[in-house]
Every structure is written in C-alpha cells, then in structure tokens.
Amino acid sequence: MQSYLDFEKPVADLEAKIAELKSLAATDQAVSIDEEVSRLSARAEEALVEIYKKLTPWQKTQVARHPQRPHFSDYVDALITEWTPLAGDRKFGEDGALQAGFGRFNGQSVAILGQEKGNSTETRLKHNFGMANPEGYRKAVRIMDMADRFNIPVISFVDTAGAYPGIGAEERGQAEAIARSTEKGLELGVPNIAIVIGEGGSGGAIAIATANRVLMLENAIYSVISPEAGASILFRDAAKAQDMATAQKITAQDLLSFRVIDGIIPEPTGGAHRHHGSVMDSTRGAISDFLSEFAGKSRLETREHRREKFLAIGTNI
C-alpha cells in the first residue's frame, strides 16, 4: 500500500477515488469505469508533477525519510552479485546498522559499505534505524583496509540520521571510530564513490563518504545536524524545523552549487519510493561511469584527486 506524505494529499485523494472505482467495478461488471479512471489518473499525475517540481527543503527532507524509499539492501539486491557480507570489528562485536562486505558490480569486484535502516519494526530494531555504533565504523575501516590491500574499489551507500548517540557508543569511542573511518576513506589508494540515497546525517554519514566522488539522489539530504535538532539548539523550538531545513542548505541542489558534492542522480516524478527500478538504473549508470573514469588512475593519482577535492570545499562559496 502506498504511503503518502502530508503535502501529497491531493494525489492521495485522487488515487483513493481510483481505487474505489476499481473496487466497485470488481463487484459489478456492468459498471464501466475506464474513462473515469483514465481521467482521474491523468489528474493525479498532473498533481504529482506540480507538487514535485517545487518541493521545499523540508518537503525534500520528508521524501528522503519516506519509509518506502529504497534502502541499502535494495541497492545491493539490484546492483550487486555474489554479495558476501562480513561481520564484526575484531575488537568488540557486530553492528547491524552499518553493513559491509564484498561483491561484484557488472562483474567487477567491489567493496560495499552502507547504512541499513530496515523496512519493518523487526528489521528497524535489528539495524538500529541505520544509526551505527563504533563497532560499525571500525568494521568499515577493516573492510576498506582489505579493499586497499587487494586493489578493490569501494562503493558507499549513505543513509543515516547520524551515528548512534547512546552512552555505550560514547564509552566505546564513537568519535574516535568515526574519525578513523573518515581518515581511512581519505587515504585509500583505490577509487571510492559515495552515494547519499536518503539521509546523510552528520559524522555518521561522512565517516563513509570521504570519497573521490560524492553523489546525492535528487531528493536526498546531507547535513551536519538534523533540522529538528538544529531548531532545538538555535531556536529552542523543534517545531521550527521547516525554517531550519531552509537555512541549512541541505538539499542536493544547494550542495552541488557549493561544490560540496559532485553530482545529482535524478529521481522520477514522485520520488525514488515510487520508482525503485528507474532509480536503480540511474545509480548503476553513475557508478559504472565513475569506475570507468578511474580505471586507469594510479594509487597516487587517486589519492591526490580525493585530497584536492576535499581541500577545495569552501573555497568557492
């Protein structure tokens, strides 16, 4: 069943009428609904186009968090073959939020990192809503080390509200683990690409997003703090999250203009949650182009490209 956001109410109403007509036709074969369904479908499509061509930063935030938006596991299922997840950081234990392992992309060996949010109550609890503990980031470092040793490119799928802020995580060195993962991403001699597929929250995101190429889906967000948390700190009122989202410049379009990211992967009208297959195709193309571009670069060239990219951030604002 399609889940609708608040600002999609006009579309929800039209599609509810379509469903009602189809239900009526199923019980009474004499009723002809084709013409009316066609008319309502056209109106629903027009309404969807009108809504999505002028989304506000807060509305994009809601789209980025949509429960039916494709998550890490969906991208792995669609794009990666021979997926072999690896567990544990060899220091404390396993973390369910940050998934890591090896597989093949278009036949080429790749290392895969990404936060998994889950899509049901059971899986969300299992994956801690995509908020990783220190052992998750130490696992990421372990996988990146292996990829670097065997000259295997790294692909990261970023989708987290932030690293887990619990007492246990702080006791086990959350900040240090994030810093080590960020450092490892910067020093790799193999090419790495990071794609923000939903939320890119704070250090929890950048820990696996210090890459040669950082891309965002069209309706994804990327920020140092969530709009709600930022509003609580600056305005003492979480209800002002909408204003905060606008002020933060967290959309893909804003971040591309500031050269914080390198490109935007387009989403069909209605968002990635309505068009999984199309988004997977676009993502596949972006990754394929990146791997082809960096195939002939030496380890030194790859590292220098990444260094210059991050040093340049902020110089053109």
Residue 214 has a pLDDT of 97
Mind listing the pLDDT tens digit for each residue in 90-149? 999 999 999 999 999 999 999 999 999 999 999 999 999 999 999 999 999 999 999 999
Question: Residue 34: pLDDT band by 50, 70, 90 thresholds?
Answer: confident
The reported pLDDT for the residue numbered 32 is 66
Banded pLDDT at 87 (limits 50, 70, 90): very high
pTM over 0.75: yes
Strands 81-85 and 98-105 turn out to be antiparallel
DSSP-assigned beta bridge partners for residue 195: 157, 215
pLDDT in tens, 193-222: 999 999 999 899 999 999 999 999 999 999
The DSSP bridge partners found for residue 223 are 201
Query: 231-275: per-residue pLDDT in tens?
Result: 999 988 888 999 999 999 999 999 999 999 999 999 999 999 999
Q: Is the pLDDT of residue 25 over 70?
A: no
Q: 313 to each of 75, 77, 212, 249, 261, how far by Cα in Å?
A: 28, 33, 13, 15, 9
User: Residue 28 has what pLDDT?
Assistant: 63
Q: What tokens were used for 204? A: 């929890």
Dmax over Cα atoms in the chain, in whole Å?
Answer: 72
Phi-psi region of 108 (alpha: psi -120 to 50; beta: other; left: phi over 0): beta
Which pLDDT score is estimated for 35?
Answer: 79
- Indicate the residue type of 51: I
Q: Is-contact 57 248, C-beta < 8 A?
A: yes
Between CA 24 and CA 250, with CA 10 as vertex, the angle to 5 degrees is: 140
Reduced to 3 states (helix: H, G, I; strand: E, B; else coil), residue 159 is strand
pLDDT for 15: 86
Mean predicted confidence (pLDDT) in 284-310: 95
Give me the percent of the chain exceeding a pLDDT of 70: 97
Mean local confidence (pLDDT), 278-291: 97
